Chains A and B, each alone.
Chain A
Amino acid sequence: MSKAATQPCPGLPGQPAPVPTECVIGRTPASPLWLCLGLPRLPLEVRSGGCAEEDARVIVDHAGRVVQASAPAAESGVAPGLPLNAARALCPELVVLERDEAAERAALARLAAWAGAFTSVVSLVSPAALLLEVRGSLRLFGGLEALRRRVRDALHATGHACREAVAPTPLAALWLARAGQAQAVTDPAALAGRIGRLRPAVTGWPEATLTILRGLGIESLADCLRLPRDGFARRVGREPLADLDRALGRIPDPRAGFRPPPRYRGELELAAETTATACLAHALRGLFVELEGFLRARQRAVSCLAIRLAHLRHPATGLELGLARPGLEAAHFDALFAERLERLALPAPVISVALEAVPGEPFDPALAGLFGDESGSTAGFRLVERLRARLGREAVHGLCLLDEHRPEHAWRVAEPGSDSYAAAPAGERRPGWLLAPPRPLRSREGRPWLAGALRMESGPERLETGWWDGDEIARDYWIARTPAGARLWIFHELSGEGPGRGHWFLHGIFG
């Protein structure tokens, strides 16, 4: 056995690449292809609720140095690394926000969960990049360019700026993304050439290493690759050499897969306190898109979304969006929320929004209208949701028949679309309109009266039942007509205990 095979440790001086490229590729039937999504504006985005570049604002670290500046601030000359005093001097109207690394990590983790919609292999790269192995997804999404477009559009909808790159190795994809080289590299043979054009700074090597390279007069990674391996390892370090080998696929570069949390929870701080519904809808749209990816990755749907709107000096406003049928589409959530917002009275300006959802039952594509017959039914449930979002849940219902003789118990409110298991009653006529509860009628000389004496048309029909549940009735029902011609369903109370004994009640109208 050769030394190379027993000792795959990278960068031994004078040694050629220990693992040949073909060896890495040979392990999987098709060579992997990595899509890297770099999120260069993440520090600014997590503190600005989707309006990161609208005004002059900077993110500063705890030492008071500028980490990132929005586009208007950068135009005034504010650049990363500048002390805050100097930045304020350059741009007096500057909004200064402290960096929130925990929020950045949370946002990155949420995006990783979202990216699960496109591939099963997602890996996080600190501080602000995602790596997606997309070879297996190309057919499903109709090719690399179609997939990239889908990812780009969806990411844009979440409100994040993105730099993407495609390469056969994860590290090369990451470096290309950092350098903003969007043109995909799919051929491993072309990799060395494309990597070679990059500046050493994209590697993220320590500043000391970069200084050494500058001292050697090295301008690009191609210069690094031209150096003798042993010399490079001795003078620059073994780790940079190993990185170059990983980027070129000479040694394996295993990546830890991202494991999504069991439930979705997203929070977004708004750029400024606001009551503008457009602003809130915009902020939540991003979270809805994240949620859709999260759900698609698991093939699950939700039937309820919990939204919390936080205020500065006021308890948070909580909202629940119920879906008539479990769903996962962001556009659908968006429409429901917009409907709900319209009738919402905010007690105070909102400073941040949060969305929480627990994935429920497996998503059934048939319900989403994949088959023609079901699309009508989906539209039907969408209508129920829209109406409920605006009018309230109780304002929209269906009807259901029960097997009961007491008129008020012969039906009940049901979920729209639910089937009745009782058969249609036969026999006595029933009115199309029911009054609930029955309305007392005046009587004159023992005869019921409503704008005149009522004329009895048929009856009585005696209903005496319900003794078993304490809601017993004993009534004589009549069909009667008012002098003006309206036909009514009235009853004479017979039961002894009730306050209305001997009185007449109007219970229905024959519409």
Chain B
Amino acid sequence: MSGSLHELLDDPRLWRAGCRERRWPTLSSGYPELDALLPGGGWPAAMLTEVAVERWGSGELALFMPLLARLSDAGNTRATGWIAWISPPFLPYAPALAAAGIGLSRMLVVRGGDDAQTLWAAEQALQSGSCRAVLAWAGRADGRRLRRLQLAAESGHTPLILFRPPAALAAPSPAALRLSLVAGAEGACLRLVKHRGGASGSLPVAALHER
């Protein structure tokens, strides 16, 4: 009886107010300062993370480069599992990715025509269980679609990082973690908008950016 209760309480979908301890497995971001800021010490390993980006070029890719480098496992040529880029706003530039240590043979670039197709493709990628990580760029996404993506990320044990316009933060979201990357003349600043069971905080990303 108590065993099943613990099982229930350990369900990552359950958000217990006032409980700060880590409720989901995480993946280190590769930046100690960032890990210290993120609940659980890293990016959620099988959850939806939403990042609202005010302006492209404020270090939004750099945040995830060490994680992608580790997940793509460049040294292992027989590694399986895609790093899916779904509807990126520009071309991911292969020389920069390679320089960051990302294995290019694991890259899967998908251009969905519109937001609906982007979200569909992201869900397919998560459900297939064949992706190490899914990055997607979408403008409009209703709460129901996001919930489906969140469930797909959980069932596929795959992190989903969804880049959204800042206006999207106004709407509620089932994401485990919501961040906002605010541009500024002296470098961008990363702000924790929402995460389950923890305090909010912010971090100037200039330090990460300079590496």
Contacts and interface: CB of A to CB of B under 8 A. Distances in A.
B56 A433 contact: yes
B195 to A, nearest CB: 23
B59 interface: yes
B104 A398 contact: yes
Contact of B109 (A398, A429, A486): A398
Contacts of A418: 105
Given A383-B130, A398-B109, A401-B104, A487 B93 contact: no
A89 B123 CA distance: 57
B186 interface: yes
B82 interface: yes
Given A396-B110, A398-B107, A486-B56, A376 B61 contact: no
With most chain B CB atoms within 10 A of its CB, the pick from A386, A431, A510 is A510
Nearest to A483: B185
A488 interface: yes
B95 A377 contact: no
B97 interface: yes
A347 interface: no
A507 B203 CA distance: 29
Contacts of A419: 77, 105
B198 interface: no
A180 interface: no
A62 to B, nearest CB: 52
* Interface residue SS majority, chain A: mixed
B94 A411 contact: yes
A380 interface: yes
Interface stretch (A154-162, A210-218, A234-242, A387-395): A387-395
B104 A486 contact: no
B155 interface: no
A485 B188 contact: yes
A227 interface: no
Interface in A460-511: 482-488, 508-511
B181 to A, nearest CB: 10
B55 A510 contact: no
Contacts of A208: none
Interface string A378-410: 011011101100110001111111000001001
Interface stretch (B8-16, B25-33, B111-119): B111-119
B80 A380 contact: yes
Nearest to B125: A383
B81 to A, nearest CB: 7
A170 to B, nearest CB: 47
A430 B55 CA distance: 19
Given A384-B108, A396-B110, A420-B105, A432 B94 contact: no
A416 interface: yes
Contact of A399 (B94, B120, B184, B209): B94
Contact of A511 (B61, B94, B184): B61
A511 B95 contact: no
A380 B96 CA distance: 24
A345 interface: no
B55 A486 contact: yes
Nearest to B85: A399
A383 B131 contact: yes
Interface string A410-438: 11010011111000111001111111100
A302 B49 CA distance: 40
B92 interface: yes
Given A379-B128, A391-B113, A410-B94, A485 B99 contact: no
Rank and list the top 4 A-B pairs by shortest CB-CB distance, nearest first.
A486-B57, A511-B61, A411-B94, A424-B98
10 contacts: A382-B130, A391-B121, A399-B94, A399-B97, A410-B95, A418-B105, A430-B95, A430-B96, A431-B93, A485-B184
